[in-house]
Amino acid sequence: MIKLNFFKAFEKLNIKVELNFDGLRNVIFGPSGSGKSSILKMIAGFYNPDNGFIRFKNECFFNSLKGIKIATHKRNVGYLPQEWTLFPHLTIKENILYPIKARKMEFDRALFEFFVNKAELSQYLDAFPEEISGGQKQRVALIRALMAKPKLLLLDEPFSALDRSIAEKLRYFLVKMVEELEIPTIFVSHNLEEAFSFAENMAIIKNGLILEASKKDELFRKPIYVESAESLGFKNVFKIDGKTANSVNIKGFWFEVEKIEGDYCCIRPEDILVLRDNADNSDRENVLKGKISSIECVGTHTVLEFNAGGLILFINIPNHAVYKMGLKKGKNITISLKRNSLTTCKTFRGF
């Protein structure tokens, strides 16, 4: 559906993209300054790559070899930048209808009423931007982008300036709109929670290069590269010290794994099981005894630092389990790591 294969050289960053998205909800995830916004701007046509092509469905937006450079206004792409702005001198209704007026499009009253009702903005149509909240302003900006009936929607970290609770509600609203209207969307973000909650398909970018891309769940559970794993919240990343056919050695400890595909072993902190005292652990995999060297509640869960003879593991555990199991600093505990929770990764060679 969306095929990108291009190169663009900037003063401080070179961007090389080879990426196919086939679905409605697509995310490019990576740190600030990695080239995410520039990719969206090239898809929108604000500037062109140095070479390569940009295709959407059966339409070619850009192809350097064929000399194709479709103008921005002819691509019919909706674009919502980080610094979204509303016209302060126009009412909410006038802001929403601005693209219709600018493009001399026919007013679709049914669509307008559908958006306004879905966004719960009916009572604010005669108000001015300064009279509504930040979350409401962002809904107005999103509806304004949708009123032009774009065939592709590009969202550049649209909720980054909003409080978490407001951003969560807007993401839910956005998902409903994208699904109901069946508009293919590319959403870029540096926030893992935000990216994961929106995505069906996900790509990871670093230093201008796409590390890997796949279905969200596949990428989140089994990344190919250690750089991807670190970006995706694998807090426990170790260089493998030794291998057999189905096990790896990490700092003197042997762990059984499902398969070995690289020189690093990566473990998500929420995948480590803390076992109950005096429990029968005979059927548990990769059992390890050690001590809690630190414990910190971070709101939604608690983070344990576990030390087993110099092997340090970070463990995320629900707050209620901490109290129920009497976990505290200095307590000796037993943990288990299922074989499928240990992911072996390669090093990305493209940098």
Burial 308-342 (b: 16+ CB within 10 A, else e): beeeebbbbbeeeebeeeebeeeeebbbbbeeebb
3-state SS, residue 205: strand
**Taking Cα atoms as reference points, which of 14, 95, 81 lies closest to residue 43?**
81
pTM of the full structure = 0.91
What is the 8-class DSSP label of residue 30? -
Taking the C-alpha atoms of residue 293 and residue 272, their distance in angstroms, rounded to an integer, is: 16
Q: Is the pLDDT of residue 192 over 70?
A: yes
Average pLDDT score over residue span 192-213: 95
Q: Are 184 and 328 in contact (CB under 8 A)?
A: no
The β-bridge partners of 223 are none
Q: Are 177 and 142 in contact (CB under 8 A)?
A: yes
Q: Are 57 and 46 in contact (CB under 8 A)?
A: no
pLDDT confidence tier of residue 83, bands split at 50, 70 and 90: confident
What is the 8-class DSSP label of residue 323? H
pLDDT at 225: 97
Average pLDDT score over residue span 245-256: 96
Higher-confidence residue of 292 and 1: namely 292
**Taking Cα atoms as reference points, which of 168, 176, 173, 201 lies closest to residue 187?**
201
Domains of the chain: 2-226 (3.40.50.300), 233-345 (2.40.50.100)
Pairing outcome for strands 14-21 and 25-29: unpaired
- Provide the angle, in degrees to the nearest 10, between the axes of the packed helices 109-118 and 92-102: 140
pLDDT confidence tier of residue 351, bands split at 50, 70 and 90: low
Taking the C-alpha atoms of residue 142 and residue 158, their distance in angstroms, rounded to an integer, is: 9
Model confidence over 98-116: pLDDT tens digits? 989 988 889 999 999 999 9
Average pLDDT score over residue span 229-258: 96
Taking the C-alpha atoms of residue 121 and residue 321, their distance in angstroms, rounded to an integer, is: 42
Question: Which phi and psi (to 5°) does residue 209 adopt?
Answer: -120, 140
Taking the C-alpha atoms of residue 86 and residue 139, their distance in angstroms, rounded to an integer, is: 11
Q: Report the run of H or E that residue 155 belongs to, with start and end.
A: strand 152-156
pLDDT confidence tier of residue 282, bands split at 50, 70 and 90: confident
Q: Report the run of H or E that residue 96 belongs to, with start and end.
A: helix 92-102
Q: Is the pLDDT of residue 345 over 70?
A: yes
Taking the C-alpha atoms of residue 61 and residue 169, their distance in angstroms, rounded to an integer, is: 33
**Taking Cα atoms as reference points, which of 121, 114, 110 lies closest to residue 180?**
114
